[in-house]
Amino acid sequence: MRPITKLILGIVAVIGILQALLVGAMLWPVEPINRWLITYWSEMRMSLLVASAVVLVTFVVILLVALLRRSSVQDLTLSSNQGDVVISKRAIENMVSKTISSRHPVKNVVVDVDLYQRRSATKVKVDAHSLKQTELAEEGKRIEQTAKDKLAEVLGVPVKHATVHVHAAQETGVTHVV
């Protein structure tokens, strides 16, 4: 989880806890708390309304994300009259990675495939280090086409979006003696 996401969730959690404690303190008939709340009622009322608004907006956003975000799966299940075959996401990523490595002058190929539940489409992200210094854009287009073709061949669904990052070969200045 990204640090900014943790920070936002932490702030919302603290606001929610404080809001729950304030509401409980207002409803619980404890005399010292009631005297303190009556003394600071105007400030407490406004802070309680602001806290309620923050929590409401947060939970509306969470609900919208839950309803509108496409579901992705970790395994692909192919059904036939002879039974079901389950292919893991990692196996598909390794297959595409090895295909790219064998057909293009690249190394350290990392592939991330998103499999959508309804099998309507997939998304793929490829990150590779080229062994050449030139023609990186053309090499990236060829790698993208290879990834799309391999995924379409294996999964039988089109690739909705492909992102390819090709990094140039770096001169290390180290001489290798064989």
**Is the model's pLDDT at 144 over the cut of 80?**
yes
Phi–psi pair at 83, nearest 5 degrees = 135, -170
pLDDT above 70 covers a percentage of the chain that reads: 85
Which residues are registered as beta bridge partners of 164?
A: 126
Select from 25, 151, 33, 12 the least CA-distant residue to 91.
Answer: 151
Over the chain, what is the mean pLDDT? 79
- List the structure tokens of 130: 């080229």
**pTM to 2 decimal places:** 0.55
Q: How large is the average pLDDT for residues 107-134?
A: 82
Residue 111 has a pLDDT of: 92
Q: How large is the average pLDDT for residues 72-92?
A: 75
E strands, 19-82, are 72-73, 75-80
Residue 78 has a pLDDT of: 65
Residue that wins the pLDDT comparison between 108 and 70: 108
Residue 102 has a pLDDT of: 92
For the ranges 9-13, 76-80, 117-121, 136-140, the one whose mean pLDDT is highest: 136-140
**Is the model's pLDDT at 8 over the cut of 90?**
no
Select from 96, 161, 104, 151 the least CA-distant residue to 129.
Answer: 104
